[in-house]
């Protein structure tokens, strides 16, 4: 058994042999999609076994981070698609975990213990709710996808970051480089369309299916690099990181996603709170006061929303009007449709509060639950015939989980997020690596806010950023500063 491969093997495998194998599978699948599943299965099993034997996991993960921004939909059968090469590489990474545990059973406790135990209930919810699904085959597929993303991007990454602390930054840099090329490509397409904001929905294709996913990805990267620039010790590093933050902030605005833009405001607020070291109990009091004032002035807030007539999707709209349109819940179709989706999701929950309809079923099950008064030109009446510029599911990560997995699913998600809040605000104010914890959670906060308005955790590109950032946060928090570990960094 090979445990210490020479530098030659380590060098050529991730950058030449593995990409060549992936390209070979791609070519064979194009020639004859009938054999895609058996070819992919053999390729993934053989490659994952080789990676474990040669201890090349870090190289695989770097390659994954680099290629994820370029992953695109590939049809393999008449009604089946995969994200290539992202899902292929993610599958290989997941299999390395299985093989490692088979070869070394005690590794199970290393992968699933410690801070990661709080994520186990969320993973178990997916197969449990699939048993009660209204569409078992759909739920089985979505359950497998979500579990795989959590296993690879949270469990595997957290464990490997604990041993190789610098790997996270290397992966983020590689992803940022790939994502930057996508943004430059989209900028060129935007220029070709005469800088018309109405065209932003499609300029990121085929790599990012929707402008909102691009905006969410750009916001978490922008927040990470801005926060990192403040903590950097060398002036040259501060400048580089700040420039990266500015570039990805540009990408946020290019994506024309109001939720992504507002999530940057949320990031700034959270980052300041963390830097000021405000105690958790004061934050709780502040939140309670804000809630009370919202109740007292609810009429004024209602009038403010009701008389807001700014429209988001029109040519040459001013940025101030574009952002203000987020509060237009009467004449802006995208906002009205979002309310419609939320209403349908909550109605689905009230019908099946304990089990939900099953993972992945919202897009098929919500149509009868829509509110007639909220229907508009974007309203979907047939899941197979979606109006132009419409689509998506619940437009809220929290409502999606509630409608598809019921109370247990939302409770599992809130348990995990609540634990992160507890770690950041209560357990780590005096942690020696507090700066890194602040950076990672402040970046995560962009999506904790954005998740009220969209849902992207079942997409490979964004799942890496979200779960990977959480994996880094937890690995830093658990660091024991053993010198032997630090030497590996």
Please list the pLDDT of the chain residue by residue as tens digits (489 residues): 344 445 555 555 555 666 666 666 666 665 666 667 777 788 888 889 989 988 999 999 999 999 999 999 887 766 778 888 899 899 999 999 999 999 999 889 889 988 999 999 999 999 999 999 999 999 999 999 999 999 999 999 999 999 999 999 999 999 999 999 999 999 999 999 888 888 888 899 999 988 999 999 999 999 999 999 998 989 999 999 999 999 999 999 999 999 999 999 999 999 998 988 777 777 778 778 877 876 776 566 655 665 566 676 666 667 777 777 777 777 788 889 999 999 999 999 999 999 999 999 999 999 999 999 999 888 988 877 787 777 779 999 999 999 999 999 999 999 999 999 999 988 888 889 999 999 999 999 999 999 999 999 999 999 999 999 999 999 999 985 444 444 444
Distance of CA 389 to the CA centre of its chain: 22
The rounded distance, in Å, linking the Cα atoms of 431 and 99 is 35
The rounded distance, in Å, linking the Cα atoms of 335 and 154 is 33
**Residues 213, 343 within the same domain:** yes
**Residues 83, 172 within the same domain:** no
**Residues 177, 92 within the same domain:** no
Longest pairwise C-alpha distance within the chain: 71
Question: Is 325 within a domain?
Answer: yes
Distance of CA 409 to the CA centre of its chain: 18
**Residues 180, 79 within the same domain:** no
The confidence score (pLDDT) of residue 489 equals: 42
Question: Is 132 within a domain?
Answer: no
**Residues 349, 480 within the same domain:** yes
Question: Is 41 within a domain?
Answer: yes
Question: Is 146 within a domain?
Answer: no
**Residues 84, 233 within the same domain:** no
Question: Is 256 within a domain?
Answer: yes
**Residues 103, 249 within the same domain:** no
Q: What global pTM score does this model have?
A: 0.91
195: region left, alpha or beta (phi > 0 left; psi from -120 to 50 alpha): left
The CA–CA distances, whole Å, from 313 to 183, 247, 251 equal 21, 24, 18
Residue with tokens 């009007």: 321
Domain boundary among 81, 108, 135: 108
The confidence score (pLDDT) of residue 304 equals: 65
Q: 450-454 — which CB contacts under 8 Å span 24+ positions?
A: 450/216, 450/219, 450/259, 450/260, 450/263, 451/396, 451/397, 451/398, 452/259, 452/396, 452/397, 452/398, 453/259, 453/338, 453/395, 453/396, 454/212, 454/216, 454/259, 454/392, 454/395, 454/396, 454/397
**Residues 180, 258 within the same domain:** yes
**Residues 262, 401 within the same domain:** yes
Question: Is 130 within a domain?
Answer: no
Let me know: does 448 contact 223? Beta carbons within 8 Å: no
The candidate with the shortest Cα–Cα distance to 76, out of 61, 92, 87, is 87
Range of the domain at 83: 1-108
Domain boundary among 90, 108, 126: 108
Let me know: does 370 contact 382? Beta carbons within 8 Å: no
The confidence score (pLDDT) of residue 485 equals: 42
Question: Is 127 within a domain?
Answer: no
The one-character DSSP state at 361 is: -
The candidate with the shortest Cα–Cα distance to 223, out of 248, 243, 240, is 248
Residues 6+ apart with CB under 8 A from 262: 323, 326, 449
Say how many domains are in the chain.
Answer: 2
**Residues 386, 317 within the same domain:** yes
The CA–CA distances, whole Å, from 405 to 151, 378, 395, 402 equal 19, 26, 16, 6
Domain boundary among 84, 108, 132: 108
**Residues 103, 200 within the same domain:** no
The rounded distance, in Å, linking the Cα atoms of 177 and 183 is 10
The confidence score (pLDDT) of residue 31 equals: 60
**Residues 245, 321 within the same domain:** yes
Question: Is 10 within a domain?
Answer: yes
């Amino acid at each position: 058994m090979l445990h210490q491969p020479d530098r030659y093997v380590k060098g050529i495998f991730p950058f030449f042999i593995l990409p060549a194998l992936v390209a070979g599978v791609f070519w064979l699948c194009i020639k004859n999609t009938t054999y895609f599943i058996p070819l992919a299965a053999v390729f993934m099993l053989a490659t994952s076994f080789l990676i474990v034997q040669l201890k090349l996991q870090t190289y695989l993960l770097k390659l994954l981070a680099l290629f994820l921004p370029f992953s695109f939909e590939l049809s393999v059968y008449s009604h089946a698609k995969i994200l290539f090469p992202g899902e292929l590489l993610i599958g290989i990474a997941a299999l390395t975990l299985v093989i490692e545990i088979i070869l070394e059973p005690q590794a199970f406790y290393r992968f699933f213990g410690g801070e990661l135990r709080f994520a186990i209930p969320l993973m178990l919810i997916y197969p449990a709710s699939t048993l009660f699904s209204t569409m078992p085959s759909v739920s089985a597929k979505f359950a497998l996808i979500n579990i795989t993303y959590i296993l690879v991007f949270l469990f595997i990454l957290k464990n490997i970051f604990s041993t190789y602390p610098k790997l996270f930054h290397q992966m983020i840099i590689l992803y940022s480089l790939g994502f930057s090329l996508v943004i430059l490509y989209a900028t060129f397409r935007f220029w070709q369309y005469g800088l018309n904001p109405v065209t932003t929905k499609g300029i990121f294709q085929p790599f990012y299916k929707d402008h909102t996913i691009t905006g969410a990805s750009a916001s978490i990267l922008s927040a990470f690099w801005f926060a990192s620039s403040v903590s950097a010790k060398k002036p040259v590093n501060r400048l580089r990181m700040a420039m990266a933050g500015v570039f990805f902030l540009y990408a946020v605005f290019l994506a024309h996603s109001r939720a992504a833009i507002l999530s940057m405001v949320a990031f700034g607020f959270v980052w300041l709170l963390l830097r000021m070291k405000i105690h958790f109990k004061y934050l709780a009091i502040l939140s309670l006061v804000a809630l009370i004032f919202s109740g007292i002035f609810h009429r004024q807030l209602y009038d403010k929303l009701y008389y807001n007539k700014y429209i988001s999707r029109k040519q040459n709209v001013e940025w101030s009007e574009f952002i203000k349109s987020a509060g237009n819940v009467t004449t802006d179709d995208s906002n009205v449709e979002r309310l419609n989706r939320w209403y349908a999701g909550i109605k689905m929950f009230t019908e099946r509060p304990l089990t939900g309809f099953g993972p992945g079923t919202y897009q098929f099950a919500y149509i009868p639950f829509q509110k007639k008064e909220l229907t508009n030109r974007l309203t979907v009446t047939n899941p197979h015939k979606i109006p132009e510029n419409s689509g998506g599911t619940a437009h809220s990560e929290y409502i999606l989980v509630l409608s598809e997995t019921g109370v247990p699913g939302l409770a599992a998600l809130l348990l995990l997020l609540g634990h992160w809040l507890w770690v950041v605000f209560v357990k780590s104010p005096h942690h020696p690596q507090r700066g890194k914890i602040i950076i990672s959670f402040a970046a995560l906060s962009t999506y904790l806010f954005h998740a009220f308005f969209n849902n992207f955790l079942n997409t490979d590109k964004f799942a890496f950023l979200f779960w990977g950032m959480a994996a880094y946060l937890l690995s830093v928090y658990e660091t024991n500063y053993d010198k032997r570990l630090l030497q590996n960094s």
